[in-house]
Amino acid sequence: MAKKKPYTKEFADFRPNKSNFKYHDEEEHIKIADIGDMFSVRLNKRTTNLGYFLTLATKDKYHGFLESVSKILLCIFSIAWDKEFLEDIMKAYIACLERNKKQYGLKEDISEEEDKKIVDEQRKLHEAEEKLREAGKDEN
């Protein structure tokens, strides 16, 4: 039996019990809107973590998580941002990535020594490619 995609037609017009938000399946997006239609945002279905997000959306035990994500989106888009706010958001984003490296397919940080070695190898490859191009031009 084939697995169902999390954003099937069953998802259309989904609204968890007692939620202040509703979710609608559109052609290439999922629309999140407050129940008064004063705020809405569309997420492209091709977004990396959207499948995870939508899977949680249809499970009652994760209602609090989904409601929190929707509230955060509403709050972020309801204020005039200042530099400190944006810096704090980036710090929170980076902290989340650091906590969940495996989930996002990130590798552990490498040492400066390893980084320098990789950069040197890439530089040598680039220089070799340039020499081959120059040699090819000289033959023509």
Predicted confidence (pLDDT) per residue in 45-90, tens digit: 777 566 666 666 666 666 677 778 888 888 888 889 999 999 999 9
* Sheet arrangement for strand 40-44: 21-25, 29-34, 40-44
What pLDDT, on a 0 to 100 scale, did the predictor assign at position 82? Answer: 94
What pLDDT, on a 0 to 100 scale, did the predictor assign at position 15? Answer: 64
My answer on whether 102 and 117 are in the same domain is no
My answer on whether 132 and 121 are in the same domain is yes
Does residue 4 belong to any structural domain of this protein? no
Does residue 30 belong to any structural domain of this protein? yes
Average pLDDT of the residues in 79-105: 88
My answer on whether 71 and 28 are in the same domain is yes
**From its phi and psi, is residue 15 left (phi > 0), alpha (psi between -120 and 50) or beta?**
beta
Residue 68 buriedness (CB in 10 A; 0-12 / 13-18 / 19+): exposed
My answer on whether 27 and 87 are in the same domain is no
Answer yes or no: is pLDDT of 91 > 50: yes
Answer yes or no: is pLDDT of 7 > 60: no
> Are the beta carbons of 73 and 32 closer than 8 angstroms?
yes
Q: What CA–CA distance (Å, rounded) separates 77 from 72? A: 9
My answer on whether 118 and 139 are in the same domain is yes
My answer on whether 13 and 50 are in the same domain is yes
Average pLDDT of the residues in 25-30: 79
Of 45, 46, 69, nearest in space to 57 by CA = 69
- With a threshold of 0.85, does the pTM exceed it? no
> Are the beta carbons of 6 and 51 closer than 8 angstroms?
yes
Q: What CA–CA distance (Å, rounded) separates 116 from 122? A: 10
Looking at per-residue confidence, does 62 or 99 come out higher? 99
pLDDT band at 17; cut points 50, 70, 90:
low
Q: Where in the sequence is the domain holding 92, given as residue range(s)?
A: 80-109
What pLDDT, on a 0 to 100 scale, did the predictor assign at position 16? Answer: 62
10-14, 74-78, 117-121: least confident range: 10-14
Answer yes or no: is pLDDT of 13 > 70: no
> Are the beta carbons of 54 and 46 closer than 8 angstroms?
no
Amino acid occupying residue 58: T
What pLDDT, on a 0 to 100 scale, did the predictor assign at position 89? Answer: 93
